[in-house]
Chains A and B, each alone.
Chain A
Amino acid sequence: MPESPLTVLIAEDGAADRLLLARIVSRQGHAVLTAENGEQAVALFAERRPHLVLLDALMPVMDGFEAARRIKTLAGEALVPIIFLTSLSEEEALVRCLEAGGDDFLAKPYNAVILAAKIKAMDRLRRLQATVLEQRDQIARHHHHLLNEQRVAKAVFDKVAHAGCLSAANIRYLQSPYALFNGDLLLAAFAPSGDMHVLLGDFTGHGLPAAVGAMPMAEVFYGMTAKGYGLAQILREMNAKLKRILPVDMFCCAVLLSLSFQRQVVEVWNGGMPDGYLLPVEGGEPLALVSRHLPLGVLAPERFDDSTQVLPMALGQRLLLLSDGVVDTSDEHDQLFGVDRLLRVLADNRQPPLLFEEVLGALEAFRGRSRDDVSLLEIRMVDADELTPAPVMYSDSGQCAPPDWSLQFEFRAETLKRFNPLPYLLQLLQEIHGLRGQSGALHSVLNELYSNALEHGVLGLDSGLKQDVQGFAEYYRQRNERLQALSEGYIRIGLKIEPQGSGGRLTIEVQDSGKGFNASKVLARPLAEQGLCGRGLNLIRRLSRHAEWADDGRRACVEFAWQALA
């Protein structure tokens, strides 16, 4: 008995031969169907679907060649081996058998042993084909399933990650539809102060692992940006989180930006991404934003370096960020597209709106085809009034705002070194519903007051340094140096909330331990000579109801007011 019996169709017009064959085959344990001509054979095949067919070549009504063709068509992708029974011996006839779809021959007179061996061999082939087909279908099903999962995951991720402001008027970006599964991540959001935070990230690895890592990144980015945290704190949190959750060999290269439209500066942190570029308005050399840090998720929190670079960015200047899909594109000889070719494209660009197309065109020309993991992002410095930050969503429904309180903080040297109290104070002030309409102004003013007190007061830095790119770099170098060395000094912040008529009033007092400055003198100068210091003071005056400096400039006193809500 064979291991598993088959159903074998025997088509033979000679009754004696048919009987003989049927006996041989059934003795071997198989079930037998018989037909007297090709037409009967095809009909029986269609009805009973036997596993294997023994087919006489020459038969009345329909010969074996035609029957073989029809049976093969009916069988479709499954292999139904056909063994031709033939007394033909001319080569040409044998070739015709094969061409008609035959898999083997059996010459008359029939030999039981050879027939058994042939049936066995054909059965092996048949099973192999069945396995291949089954596995192919399984792979196709898995693939379909995977694509569907990716589609759903992307829809979920888009809800989490694209809640941001990528659609803002000053942003242009290009990202392949499945970039998420290439590990590319693009996030942008307005901070309460009206500043814009932008992240372009690139996870090691591809597919689901990369997408999974992107979720907590997006949550930290949006959550902390909305609460008014600065880049340094956001970076620390992201790094610590990724370090904790990712396996050792996974990390995320990222470049983070904070653009201040009020102050026209950009703060940059680049860990492992290709150079970004600050493009001049009218030709000239682009300024590279070079990676100075290890990627996120590599270093333990205590070794992480959150130091950023601050650059002046004039109205109309543009920043270009790109993923490694651009410079790492290689041609068939493993030659990289590289930075030089990219710089040439940037230099040759005449019409800014065509820059992306020109970069992609150059990549295509270099490689002969396009890649699906290229991300490009361009951000323009615009006037703050040109942008309308999305309204902040508040989670409470109101009515419980405390109307009358005050509080005082004093932050001393050790705290000033590594802690930014502003997000906490701002959270607190969010509780006052009447102030929510001015929360952008409030954030900007508090930021300005705090950095004035810290940088010019406690650290004694000279804002006159900030004349150009080198000056900015020097200023922030000194800022870091002095902050790290700080051993004494303080900043006191007082907040006072009082009811006033049907509305209320907020008084902010910020006092520092510095040498002070002559506020009225700075403000009396014409705008052009006031420099950045004056710009900060003017910003405070413009955004608040009232602002004054006392105690030789060591104490700032700023007021906001609101009317009862309708």
Chain B
Amino acid sequence: MAVETVVSQDGKKLTIKVKGRFDFGKHQEFREAYERKASRPDYVVVDLKEATYLDSSALGMLLMLRDHVGGDDSEVRVVNTSSDVRKILAISNFDKLFDIS
């Protein structure tokens, strides 16, 4: 699986790991990663440690995730970003919407 999900034991944290190219090809899997959860987590971590590339449709998917878990009231962290990925997120100023590290 190129998109893996882990829910913490207390159910508060949902971790979504994306591997390989994070582009439109992951659309379905990425959506399923958060839509099928029975309860809404307090916060979501998107782990991009093994993501090699990220395009603008990936940015769109992150916005969908953010919207799904509460929009402006949500807490979405994007972690383990490579320098290339961070550049792309920085150009779009996504650090204004997501906690990026």
Contact = CB atoms under 8 A, between A and B. Distances in A.
Tell which of B21, B52, B57, B90 has the most Cβ of chain A within 10 Å. Answer: B57
B43 interface: no
Contacts of A250: 60
A294 interface: yes
A303 B96 CA distance: 11
B61 interface: yes
Interface in B48-85: 52-53, 55-57, 59-61, 63-64, 67, 72, 84
Contacts of B67: 248
Contacts of A334: 21, 52-53
Chain A's interface: helix, strand, loop or mixed, by majority? loop
Give the interface residue-count category, chain B.
20 to 34
B38 interface: no
A205 B60 contact: yes
A250 B59 CA distance: 9
B93 A204 contact: no
B97 interface: yes
A248 B71 CA distance: 10
Interface in A238-286: 248-251, 253, 271-274
Contacts of A123: none
A328 to B, nearest CB: 8
Interface in A205-258: 205, 248-251, 253
Contact of A292 (B72, B93, B97): B93
Tell which of A273, A292, A300, A334 has the most Cβ of chain B within 10 Å. Answer: A334
Nearest to A297: B63
A291 interface: yes
Contact of A205 (B52, B57, B90): B57
A298 interface: yes
Contacts of B1: none
A293 interface: yes
Given A330-B53, A334-B52, A334-B53, A291 B60 contact: no
Interface residues of A, number: 25
B39 to A, nearest CB: 22
A272 B63 contact: no
A292 B96 CA distance: 10
Nearest to B20: A334
A502 B22 CA distance: 70
Nearest to B68: A248
B63 A248 contact: yes
A291 B94 contact: no
Nearest to A295: B92
Contact of B60 (A204, A271, A293): A204
Nearest to A203: B56
Contacts of B59: 204, 251
Contact of B63 (A249, A273, A324): A249
B33 to A, nearest CB: 15
Given A324-B56, A334-B52, A271 B63 contact: no
A336 interface: yes
B93 A291 contact: yes
Nearest to B62: A249
Nearest to B92: A272
A300 B59 CA distance: 17
Interface in B14-64: 21, 52-53, 55-57, 59-61, 63-64
Given A204-B56, A294-B97, A334-B52, A272 B91 contact: yes
Contacts of A292: 93
Given A271-B93, A272-B91, A336 B60 contact: no
B57 A204 contact: yes
B97 A253 contact: no
A303 B21 CA distance: 31
B91 A251 contact: no
Interface in A303-356: 303, 324, 328, 330, 334, 336
A294 B96 contact: yes
Contacts of B96: 294
A298 B63 contact: yes
A407 to B, nearest CB: 42
Nearest to A293: B93
A274 B91 contact: yes
A40 B59 CA distance: 68
A309 B84 CA distance: 26
Contacts of A272: 91-93
A294 B94 contact: yes
Contact of B56 (A248, A253, A293, A303): A253
Nearest to B90: A291
A254 B25 CA distance: 25
A336 B52 CA distance: 11
A273 B93 CA distance: 10
B10 to A, nearest CB: 28
Contacts of A204: 56-57, 59-60
Contacts of A248: 60, 63-64, 67
Given A294-B92, A294-B97, 14 more contacts: A248-B63, A249-B61, A249-B63, A251-B63, A271-B93, A274-B91, A291-B91, A291-B93, A292-B93, A294-B94, A294-B96, A295-B92, A324-B56, A334-B21
Interface of A: 202, 204-205, 248-251, 253, 271-274, 291-295, 298, 300, 303, 324, 328, 330, 334, 336
18 contacts: A204-B56, A204-B57, A204-B59, A204-B60, A205-B56, A249-B57, A251-B59, A273-B91, A291-B91, A294-B97, A295-B92, A298-B97, A300-B72, A303-B72, A324-B91, A328-B55, A334-B21, A336-B84
